[in-house]
Amino acid sequence: MRTPQFHLPLLCILFLSQDLNAQSQEEFEDVMAQYEDVMANISDANYGTFDAQYPDDPVKILNHVRRERFYLVLPEVMRDRKIDMWIHVIRPWAWGGTDPMRYEFGTKSAVLVFTDRGGDQIEKVVFQGEVQDPAAYDMVGERYAYESLQDYELMDYAEAAHGAHVESELALRFEGLGDFVAERDPGRIAVNYIDTLSLAEGSETFTMALGDGISYTDYVELTKALGETYVSRMISAEHLMLDYLSRRVASEVVLYGARGYDEVEDSRARFDNIVPGVTTLGDIGGGPAIDKNGNQFRNSDYVIQRGDLIGEWQGLAYVLRKNETGLPEHIKNFWANDRRVRKILADNVRLGMTGGEMLEVLAEKLEEAGFIYTDYQEYNQYVSDPNKMQVHIDMHAEGKGILAPRISPMGPRWHRNMELRLFLTFAVEYMIYQRVPQWDRANNFRGRQLYAAFHDGGIITSRGMEIPFPDQSNKIHIIN
């Protein structure tokens, strides 16, 4: 049975685009110029789905997603964690840095306060700072006396114009916050410092790892502003932030499907112009290539030859040898086994389990089907039966900067302890390894094997694992 196709994203992105197309190109460029820094800083943290490379007006689309998350996700996670107030501080002049919430809240420098005051919604306040979408908040800066922390001589201005007496410009951001909090009298206050976890090791990228949040100076100034009573009610927001980052709304699935559709088209196009004996791996954007004797090549100047199996992550292609009309038997068997592996994943991934529990189920199903599940991202020559296909799984969340929840033996324990929830967008990432006995003699019995890695995307719905765009792993492209 084929993995079900989820067509809602493509329909919704067309619907969402109707109003946006009316905006002229000139107006669009003006909007983008206004938010250029914010949008660029989203992309450089590898947020994937949430960057500026989408059609129409990305700012309007991203603002829509943010408001939907404020409406649906924010009350849910705060009440699940029994949090009455969430204070999130993004330090000025760091330009958001690696703050995990800067896209979510649409700012690179701010003091934000979210308060559960009853009713359906959470009160959303920008106590100090600038945000991409002010209309998403209930209050923006009404209680803040100063214009901007980027003003020169701000301390002198504050003292002359407002009678403030502070030792640090950083402290000005919190002036009046104590009274604001006391008016709401929250029982539990979550603040963005890390207590037991490391968000950096849960990140989707190594070069822009998610940071720990509030600085020491900010923490000190915040505690001074709140006073002893409310400081005693502060706890780490680390689990609250993870909950918020890991939950999805329908509009995010729309964007995820649109991104995946583009990737599929790009993957197909990269193989279209291959000329055996002429085209290099560099010409098609990389490899690897496995030749007819099982040797693997990754260097960009390698010239693709007949009999090569090419590709990784985004699809595979096979270059027919002379007089071949289809895949050789060992590749045909390899591919048939991969289809079986993929069906096991599609049939068993479901809601209501943690990533670790789901991994145990998949490992058991793979073993029952005659495969060998392995914790390693490489071929293991010491398994009980080297002729069986080996399978490694690393199905992690993607699109929001964090890898959790994660169906994988990799990463810290909290990756696997998080629950798989509705609309989770994740990488259908797995690696397969198959020994090819006929390659042994050609390689002095050094253990060459067929290998392929996959990294297309999926979502979890009430029906289980679904692919929100054409399944790019359905076939091997045949090149004459």
User: Residue 377 pLDDT > 80, yes or no?
Assistant: yes
Domain that holds residue 77: 35-246
Same domain, 159 and 231: yes
Name every residue whose Cβ is closer than 8 Å to that of residue 465 and which is 6 or more positions away in sequence. Answer: 3, 345, 346, 349, 350, 428, 458, 459
In the chain, the amino acid numbered 172 is L
Look up the CATH number of the domain holding residue 431. 3.90.230.10
Same domain, 212 and 114: yes
Structural domain includes residue 25: no
Q: What is the mean pLDDT of residues 328-353?
A: 94
Q: What is the C-alpha to C-alpha distance for residues 209 and 206, in angstroms, rounded to an integer?
A: 5
Total number of domains in the chain: 2
* pLDDT at residue 256, as a whole number: 80
* pLDDT at residue 282, as a whole number: 92
Percent of the chain residues topping a pLDDT of 90: 46
Same domain, 235 and 263: no
User: Residue 239 pLDDT > 90, yes or no?
Assistant: yes
Q: How far is CA 48 from the centre of its chain?
A: 6
Q: What is the mean pLDDT of residues 345-358?
A: 96
Whether 460 contacts 351, CB under 8 Å: yes
Same domain, 263 and 323: yes
Q: What is the pLDDT of residues 17-52, one digit of tens each?
A: 334 343 444 543 444 444 343 333 333 333 334 444
Which of 200, 231, 246 finishes a domain?
246
Same domain, 123 and 256: no
Same domain, 189 and 287: no
With CA atoms as reference, report the closest residue to 355 among 213, 471, 202, 468.
Answer: 202
Q: 């705060």: which residue's tokens? A: 78
Same domain, 242 and 369: no
How far, CA to CA in Å, does 338 sit from each of 188, 264, 334, 430, 433?
Answer: 50, 19, 6, 10, 10
Same domain, 217 and 314: no
Q: What is the C-alpha to C-alpha distance for residues 44 and 97, in angstroms, rounded to an integer?
A: 10
Q: Find the range with the poorest average confidence among 37-41, 111-115, 170-174, 323-327.
A: 37-41
Q: Find the range with the poorest average confidence among 64-78, 83-97, 148-162, 178-192.
A: 148-162
Structural domain includes residue 26: no
Same domain, 162 and 227: yes
With CA atoms as reference, report the closest residue to 189 among 81, 62, 274.
Answer: 81
Q: What is the C-alpha to C-alpha distance for residues 35 and 377, in angstroms, rounded to an integer?
A: 41
The segment with the largest mean pLDDT, out of 36-45, 117-126, 287-296, is 117-126
Look up the CATH number of the domain holding residue 53. 3.40.350
Structural domain includes residue 16: no
Classify strands 139-140 and 123-130 as parallel, antiparallel or unpaired. Answer: parallel
Q: What is the pLDDT of residues 155-209, one digit of tens each?
A: 666 676 666 666 777 788 898 899 999 999 999 999 999 888 877 777 766 555 6
* pLDDT at residue 339, as a whole number: 92
How far, CA to CA in Å, does 151 sit from each of 146, 208, 221, 312, 416?
Answer: 9, 29, 20, 50, 46
Same domain, 420 and 336: yes
Q: 């789901």: which residue's tokens? A: 358
Name every residue whose Cβ is closer than 8 Å to that of residue 455 and which is 6 or more positions away in sequence. Answer: 313, 314, 427, 428, 429
CA 259, 262, 264, 266 dihedral sign is negative
Q: What is the C-alpha to C-alpha distance for residues 424 and 466, in angstroms, rounded to an integer?
A: 10
pTM, to two decimals:
0.80
Whether 420 contacts 352, CB under 8 Å: yes
Structure tokens at 425: 């967008």
Q: What is the C-alpha to C-alpha distance for residues 101 and 90, in angstroms, rounded to an integer?
A: 9
How far, CA to CA in Å, does 7 sit from each of 1, 10, 102, 251, 349?
Answer: 18, 6, 30, 13, 19
Same domain, 146 and 213: yes
